Amino acid sequence: MPLAIFDLDNTLLDGDSDYLWGVFLAERRVVDPDHYERENARFYAEYKEGRLDIHEFLRFSLAPLARHAPAALAAWRAEFLATRIEPIVLPKAVALVEGHRAAGDTLLIVTATNRFVTAPIAARFGIPHLIATEPEVRDGRYTGEVEGVPSFREGKVVRLEQWLDAHGQTLDGSRFYSDSHNDLPLLERVDHPVAVDPDPTLAEHARRCGWPVLSLRD
């Protein structure tokens, strides 16, 4: 069955779950609000500009997971999903996923955002396979470090190739939906790249390459 691969943030969602999680933590004063909001905004701008240092960002974004007990983290995440994620689930994105499900395609999200944030969002869409940045866990607690290769830019290709080997799959007939020029390495790897509400850099690249452009926003 062909793979239907989806980016998550600003593709299936009308917003960025990684950035919004940081905003949520700052508003709840789980982190120092002034410092965290300033740094969160800086990293998000660098991401959009294509110059994000992913390891610097992950040291910042995963630190709160290491500072708090799993029960507290789970409670905050449940509130975050209900108040911040559910309102930005795009109905047309749900319909797109359901169309691929009905066609019998294998559904997969590939996202740079960490698994703690994204696993329940993938479940919300009913997408059974998720490649996300993996926060390291030891003795039942997050360490604030990353396990393996972050699934960002070329790392998405590396992680997908590992997944393909593990699952006996290929990219024959594969389709990948993304909004971001940061995903060009993976968009250029699949058989059918699709730009979804693309940023200006990706929109221009899609135009030059003749890739389809799709909008999931009303």
Please answer whether residues 109 and 129 qualify as being in contact, where contact means their C-beta atoms are separated by less than 8 angstroms.
yes
SS3 call for 83: helix
Known active-site residue 139: no
Q: Which residue has the tokens 């009303």?
A: 218
Using one digit for the tens of pLDDT, what is the confidence trace for 16-45? 999 999 999 999 999 999 998 899 899 999
Mean pLDDT of 63-70: 96
Backbone angles phi, psi at 90, to 5 degrees: -85, 125
SS3 of 113-126: the string is EEHHHHHHHHHHCC
Q: Where are the domains of the chain?
A: 3-14+90-214, 17-87
- Grade residue 92 by pLDDT with cuts at 50, 70 and 90: very high
**Residue among 7, 16, 197, 199 flagged as catalytic:** 7
Question: What is the fold, at CATH topology level, of the domain defined by 17-87?
Answer: de novo design (two linked rop proteins) (1.20.1440)
Known active-site residue 191: no
Write down the mean pLDDT value for the chain.
97
- Tell whether domain 3-14+90-214 is in CATH 3.40.50.1000: yes
Entry pTM: 0.95
Distance CA 137, CA 30 (A): 20
Backbone angles phi, psi at 103, to 5 degrees: -80, -5
